[in-house]
A = this chain, B = another copy of it.
Amino acid sequence: MAAKYGLLLVGIGMGDIHSMTTSALNAIQNADLRILESYTAKWNDDDILKLKEMVGEFEYALRPDIENPDKILAQCQEKSVAIMVIGDPMQATTHVDLLLRAEELEIPYKVYHGISITNLATGISGLSNYRFGRPTTLTYAYGGWVATSPLEVISVNLQLNLHTLVLFDLDPTGLGTGNMQPMLPIDARKVMYQMLEKWQEDSLQEIEEVVDSSFKFKNHSVKQLPENLSQLPVVVCTDLGTTNQSLWRGILGSIEKAPVGNMHCMIIPSHLSEIEEKALKKWAKE
């Protein structure tokens, strides 16, 4: 970047400092101020320490700092500020919004892309990227409110014979203000059971209100989940992109057997092609 000030939105990849691109590393090292966005994903303490050794000291930003970015943008008017985001920075609406605000203020900006979990999960599992439908995120139940959309996404994908990448929330409060607790596989199961219960209640209430084809589709698709949700095939991904990464293949009902690490996500596989089956057999524990 030619300007001496501005916003650098830098993806630092998954897992550790070596998964950063050389241009990202360069940009961070040369920035006047470094800020780690710390509410959409988490690295372990060791890797955070190594990051500091490699790029120098940095501050932390939580959700309110990014969503109400007046302070950050004011700093960008005077110096070059690198916002470091785990994975790829442009997968989140908040970051798109941040760039649009910078543009309105005529602050120069540049994006450095990083390897995202979407890449890693499809790649490491050996499942074909072309056979993944829409991804989803399992959220914690916030104060009694239970989302059902993740289950709907999974069942629509199954109906279309597509795999689903299921990311896990890491913020039990939904506020993004600290005390992040990345969802564990057993929490994910609990949340999914809650979702099914809620969805079945909703379906009973709304069964008469079939107004358009998308709604019909929604109801139809519930049938694609196994009658007993605990039988749903899952592939749990643990600490992808780190030296500890592992895949575990089983059913939702036995998810407590999956390895527990720092960050998890899950793939709900549909029917597997021959090579996908072979790859999972080799690379996923059962």
Interface residues of A (CB under 8 A from B): 13, 17-23, 25-26, 88-91, 93, 96-97, 99-100, 103, 111, 113-116, 118-120, 122-124, 126, 128-137, 156, 159-162, 213-214, 217, 241, 275, 278-279, 282
30 pairs, A vs B, C-beta closer than 8 Å: A17-B22, A18-B21, A18-B22, A18-B23, A19-B113, A88-B115, A88-B119, A89-B123, A90-B122, A90-B126, A91-B122, A93-B128, A96-B279, A99-B126, A99-B279, A100-B278, A100-B282, A113-B120, A113-B124, A114-B115, A115-B115, A116-B129, A119-B119, A129-B135, A130-B136, A133-B134, A156-B160, A159-B213, A159-B214, A159-B217
| Inter-subunit contact A134/B115 (CB<8 Å) | no
What are the 6 tightest A-B residue pairs by CB atom distance, in nearest-first order? A90-B123, A18-B23, A91-B129, A96-B126, A18-B22, A19-B21
Given contacts A123-B111, A126-B96, contact A134 B131 (CB under 8 A): yes
Copies in the complex: 2
Known: A89-B123, A128-B93. A115 touches B21 (CB 8 A): yes
Chain B nearest CB from A41 CB (Å) reads 14
Whether A90 contacts B124 by the Cβ 8 Å rule is yes
A13 touches B19 (CB 8 A): no
Known: A21-B18, A21-B21, A21-B115. A88 touches B135 (CB 8 A): no
- In the complex, residue of chain B having the shortest beta-carbon distance to the beta carbon of A128: B93
Contact among B103, B120, B126, B130 with A282 in the assembled complex (CB-CB below 8 Å): B103
Partner of A22, one of B25, B89, B129: B25
